[in-house]
Chain A
Amino acid sequence: MNGPTLPGHHPSAGRPPAGETDWDAIFRGEFVRRPHCWKTCDSFCCKPTRVTQHFLFLRSRGVDLPHLPGEYHYLETTGHLQAGFADTFTRHRLRLPNGRTMPLYRAVCTLDGTCSDHRYRPLVCRVYPFMPVPTLDGDLERTEPTALIDIFWNALETSGHPCTITEMDADEWDAYRALCRELFKDPVNILYFKAASIYKNTIMDSVRRQYPELLEQPEEIFFSRWEKLLVMGKLYHPGEVLEKIAAVCDGLEARLGRPLALEGT
């Protein structure tokens, strides 16, 4: 599944937006409006057991759901954290080599598609399957597959991605882009989305470079071997990924002329 071609690109004036994201607006809107799509794929994005059943180290049931710090605090303060996984949140700190720290809020969802309050499902679910990748200026540069496992399906020679949402029409993209503009008003959100893209593509590039023969395997063999390579640290060096993310952080801060408002830094 590739990111689709985006119609009508309207770049900004060259400086990143330095405002705050209106989370009410984000959660009122819909990035991808396909209310019944789950009927066509057995809720793959909520219940990716077709892949995770092959894992030994990673979670074989449930979905890791990273939340942006602003998103997490909005949902928490408004009482809209999903009842089914509100108590599963963990907070880790990603320490960048430039001295900055990115908090990572992650929940584990085992609801299998039965959100307690669908209107307030997490952002990562709302954008699925088209994860936005912004420029440093906060424009929508492209989209790419949302989850780490998704990015490999297009490269696998033996399987097609189960998700049936492959394209949106121009009006839908307009709505998607409007929400991205709101989301990327806060440059902290730009950093997180670019960091996610760096992480995924570093791993993808590593598989293509070091283990191209894996991509010729059936999906069950691919994902069982891929998992072990990943968790044993053979697909990327954390230090290299952190250097790339720090460079994005430095670039954003240079454009802003001030430090990003990152928690814990």
Chain B
Amino acid sequence: MKEASTEIETRIRAFILEHLDPGTDLGFEDRLMDRGYIPSMQLISLVGFLEDTFGVEIVPFDVTPDDFESIATIADLVRSLRGRK
């Protein structure tokens, strides 16, 4: 069954809130990189979570910081990678 459009966003948001300690509430469109929510060490954890949870492979040379700008763009990246499979 295909996940509802916000299901991916919701799971990503839950991971960030639980593991990356943003210290505040977080909307789907909030900018993550600019607000310092994702230090490099924690980006590694997030990428691992995305690959394990959504069954995608993130190829380092195919992504840019824009893909990690917000929960919404990360979810778009996941959907895009799923569409390639």
Contacts and interface: CB of A to CB of B under 8 A. Distances in A.
A86 interface: no
Interface residues of B, number: 17
Given A56-B65, A57-B65, A238-B45, A232 B58 contact: yes
- A interface, size bucket: 10 to 19
B61 A225 contact: yes
A58 B40 contact: yes
A208 interface: no
A212 B1 CA distance: 42
B38 to A, nearest CB: 9
A8 interface: no
Interface of B: 21, 33, 39-41, 43-45, 47-48, 58, 60-61, 63-65, 68
Given A57-B43, A232-B63, A238-B41, 19 more contacts: A57-B40, A58-B40, A92-B39, A92-B41, A225-B60, A225-B61, A228-B60, A228-B63, A230-B44, A231-B40, A231-B47, A231-B60, A232-B44, A232-B47, A232-B58, A232-B60, A233-B48, A234-B60, A238-B44
Interface of A: 56-58, 90, 92, 225, 228-234, 238
22 contacts: A56-B64, A57-B33, A57-B40, A57-B68, A90-B39, A92-B21, A225-B61, A230-B40, A230-B44, A231-B40, A231-B43, A232-B43, A232-B44, A232-B47, A232-B58, A233-B43, A233-B45, A233-B47, A238-B41, A238-B44, A238-B45, A238-B48
